[in-house]
């Protein structure tokens, strides 16, 4: 019986690894769910909760974030328990479904490529209309170069947020890790701003997002360095931008993703950044040229490569965790 339990533990982690791979495959083939998107549903719940819980206070923000993230993780734990009692196929299917629902990598890369097409064609109206789906910049004040830079920065940062974080947390914590990570990431996108309204209330969501993205951002950076030659870049340039520039970014994680992408693509990111809540002067990342529409195509291609590589790494990590669990149980 003891041996059976140990074998079962390892098999569950193999099911987790298979679910990660299947989830990415679904995202690549199907894209985001077209109706009843779970992340959009969570956003609606979060918005309604904010109307009740909002106070200009960090403690109110802690309560808001804890309730929403805790509730999401609890739902993931319950769903995993039900699926586990139904067998490995059900557990694999649940993991794949959760990963597919929480990934946003295919939409991200396709939107980046669409933006490149609009800018290449000189269709500024279409480019400005598309930009809010990538980031919170004010499109009306940006020219073609500004939109290209904003879009490229978003593709680089969200490669970590929309994909790498999902699969890495899935490897470590299964479905609860997938949905909990996505809940944190979504809340940060909703209230994690340094605006007058959210400076206090959004503090917890923003700091928690920093914590859960520490490992994903650095895995994204490492994979970007390794894959730079696939988009015509040099790993040494990507490493140099990481070393020299990433720490100057106001985000400890976005700086890594954006700086390594800038180095890999041979472009320069950062500078004056206009949001709805105000203007920020960002540090320069990379030492190359100003981004062009063709660089956006390269960024989208690099994003896809990083997504696939991160899923492979995460699946292998899930298997390794399962093997380590078998060894631990054997010692016990």
User: Does residue 93 form part of some domain?
Assistant: yes
Q: Which is nearest to 174 in space by CA: 242, 78, 303?
A: 78
User: Does residue 308 form part of some domain?
Assistant: no
Q: Which is nearest to 14 in space by CA: 174, 162, 163?
A: 174
Q: Which is nearest to 177 in space by CA: 186, 167, 185, 187?
A: 167
What one-character-per-residue DSSP string does 201-231 give? HTHHHHHHHHHHTHHHHHHHHHHHHHHGGGG
Element (H, E) at 247: none
**Angle at alpha carbon of residue 64, lines to 62 and 66, rounded to 5°:** 65
User: Does residue 301 form part of some domain?
Assistant: no
Sign of the CA dihedral with 108 first, then 114, 117, and 119 last: negative
Walk along the chain (332 residues) and give the pLDDT tens digit of each residue.
444 444 455 677 889 999 999 999 999 998 877 777 888 899 999 999 999 999 999 999 999 999 999 999 999 999 999 999 998 999 999 999 999 999 988 999 999 999 999 999 999 999 999 998 888 777 888 888 889 999 999 999 999 998 999 999 999 999 999 999 999 999 999 999 888 899 999 999 999 999 999 999 999 999 999 999 999 999 999 999 999 999 999 889 999 999 999 999 999 998 776 665 556 677 899 999 999 999 999 999 999 999 999 999 999 999 999 888 777 777 76
What pLDDT, on the 0 to 100 scale, is given for residue 9? Answer: 59
Number of helical H runs and strand E runs in the chain: 14, 2
* Coil, helix or strand at residue 137: strand
What pLDDT, on the 0 to 100 scale, is given for residue 3? Answer: 42
Expressed as residue numbers, the domain containing 134 is: 2-294+314-331
Compute, in degrees rounded to 10, the torsion defined by CA atoms 72, 134, 96, 226: -120
User: Does residue 288 form part of some domain?
Assistant: yes
User: Does residue 204 form part of some domain?
Assistant: yes
Beta-ladder partners of 273 = 280
Compute, in degrees rounded to 10, the torsion defined by CA atoms 300, 301, 306, 308: 110
User: Does residue 232 form part of some domain?
Assistant: yes
What pLDDT, on the 0 to 100 scale, is given for residue 1? Answer: 40
CB 197 within 8 A of CB 55: no
Token representation of residue 316: 């292998």
User: Does residue 279 form part of some domain?
Assistant: yes
User: Does residue 138 form part of some domain?
Assistant: yes
Number of domains in the chain: 1
Element (H, E) at 278: strand 278-285
Q: Which is nearest to 178 in space by CA: 107, 100, 256?
A: 100
Element (H, E) at 239: helix 235-245
Alpha helices (H) in 31-87, listed in sequence order: 38-53, 58-86
């Amino acid at each position: 019986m003891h041996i059976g339990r140990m074998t079962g533990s390892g098999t569950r982690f193999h099911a987790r690894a298979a679910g990660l791979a299947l989830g990415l495959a679904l995202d690549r083939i199907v894209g985001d769910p077209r109706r009843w998107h779970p992340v959009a549903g969570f956003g609606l719940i979060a918005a309604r909760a904010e109307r009740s819980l909002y106070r200009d206070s960090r403690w109110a923000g802690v309560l808001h974030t804890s309730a929403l993230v805790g509730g999401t993780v609890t739902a993931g734990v319950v769903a995993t328990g039900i699926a586990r009692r139904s067998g490995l196929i059900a557990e694999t299917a649940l993991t794949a479904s959760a990963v597919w629902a929480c990934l946003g990598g295919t939409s991200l890369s396709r939107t980046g490529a669409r933006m490149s097409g609009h800018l290449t064609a000189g269709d500024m109206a279409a480019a400005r209309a598309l930009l809010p789906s990538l980031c919170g910049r004010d499109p009306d004040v940006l020219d073609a170069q500004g939109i290209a830079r904003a879009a490229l920065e978003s593709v680089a940062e969200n490669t970590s947020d929309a994909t790498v974080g999902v699969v890495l947390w899935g490897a470590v914590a299964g479905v609860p890790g997938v949905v909990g990570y996505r809940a944190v990431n979504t809340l940060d996108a909703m209230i994690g701003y340094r605006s007058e309204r959210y400076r206090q209330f959004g503090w917890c969501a923003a700091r928690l997002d920093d914590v859960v993205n520490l490992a994903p951002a650095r895995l994204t950076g490492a994979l970007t360095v390794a894959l730079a030659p696939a988009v015509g870049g040099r790993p040494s340039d990507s490493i140099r931008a990481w070393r020299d520039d990433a720490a100057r970014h106001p985000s400890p994680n976005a700086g890594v993703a954006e700086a390594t992408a800038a180095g890999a693509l041979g472009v320069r990111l950062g500078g004056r950044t206009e949001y709805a809540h105000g203007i920020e002067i960002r540090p320069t990342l990379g030492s190359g040229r100003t981004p062009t529409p063709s660089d956006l195509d390269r960024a989208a291609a690099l994003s896809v490569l990083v997504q696939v590589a991160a899923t492979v790494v995460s699946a292998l990590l899930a298997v390794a965790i399962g093997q380590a669990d078998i060894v631990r149980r054997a010692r016990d």
